[in-house]
Amino acid sequence: MNVKKAVLSLAVSAALVVTALPAHGHAAEGDAPTVINGGILQNNRTLIPLRLVAEHLGASVDWNSQTKTVTIAQDGLSIKLTVNSDRIVVNDTELVIDVPVTQQYGSTYVPLRFVSQALGADVEWSQSAKQATVLYKGNRIVIIPEKPRVQLPSSQRATMQWQQKLIDKLNEATDVSSIKQIRAYFKPFFTDRFINTIVQNKGLEFGDKFTTLHLSSILYIDTTHASLNQANYKDSSEYGFQDVDRRKISLVYTNGVWKVDQVAFDHSQFPLYP
């Protein structure tokens, strides 16, 4: 990709919201698209989880947890972004964008059009379906933004202290061999269904413990359901990879308290260097 062309594309894209663009016939009519749930609608812009989308577009993504810097590389083009910064570096050229890179729910988010046009893809926005489609080299990626967060009264929200308590109890549940009265011990924090799962499996299926908790980690789906998301990042300098373990905790509001109802785990591995 020509660097000057890429820089111009970035400068233009940073100033625009996502609008409908004509498709160029990249994807076959019958091909099933890749669907990514997790976009965010913010200030009339669609923000996307950077790593998921960029890698589906064929780019490599490197995350530096110390500097909170993301580097996207593709075909000789290098794009560097820093969380909470409105400055990006395209190869050796610094540009200013009007929407800073943000980090939520353990993932890095950027404006949809910025990444798509920077890597040479086309974008279609469906106002009726409230979803975006990225077209690139025969692939279709459908990005579905999350629904706006439910506004709950402060009295019904889970405090940070309670969220931390649930996380601590989940970490204890990785190994229940030393807990004699499992049901009684976890009943204030877990639903009966989840306790049955723990008893049956003799603990959580994934043994790692998670400690990181962000203010934005919890998502209220409705007045009785929420999710709490965590991530562990592990760099392996010996092999040049970064391991990412994610834990999604499904919560239900019952008898005036939020309890853990289900837990899902996901493991990914990415190269540290392009």
Would you say residue 54 has pLDDT above 60?
yes
Residue showing tokens 């009726």: 128
Residue showing tokens 């049956």: 200
> Do the domains 3-145 and 160-271 sit in the same CATH topology, yes or no?
no
Mean pLDDT over residues 114-137, rounded?
Answer: 78
**Does 19 or 125 have the greater pLDDT score?**
125
Would you say residue 12 has pLDDT above 60?
no
179 near 203, Cβ under 8 Å? no
Fold topology of 160-271: Nuclear Transport Factor 2; Chain: A, (3.10.450)
Q: Given this model, what pLDDT does residue 267 score?
A: 74
Other C-beta atoms closer than 10 Å to the C-beta of 178 total 6
Strand 34-42, strand 122-126: pairing:
unpaired
- Architecture of the CATH domain 3-145: 2-Layer Sandwich (3.30)
CA 87 to chain centre: 21
Q: Tell me, what amino acid is at 219?
A: L
Q: Given this model, what pLDDT does residue 14 score?
A: 34
What are the tokens at 137? 């080299």
Q: How confident is the prediction for the chain on average, in pLDDT?
A: 77
Mean pLDDT over residues 222-237, rounded?
Answer: 80
Q: Given this model, what pLDDT does residue 24 score?
A: 35
The model's confidence at residue 19, banded by pLDDT at 50, 70 and 90, is: very low
Q: What residue segments make up the domains of the chain, in order of their start?
A: 3-145, 160-271
Write the pLDDT tens digit of every residue in 138-183.
Answer: 778 888 877 666 778 888 999 999 999 999 999 999 989 899 899 9
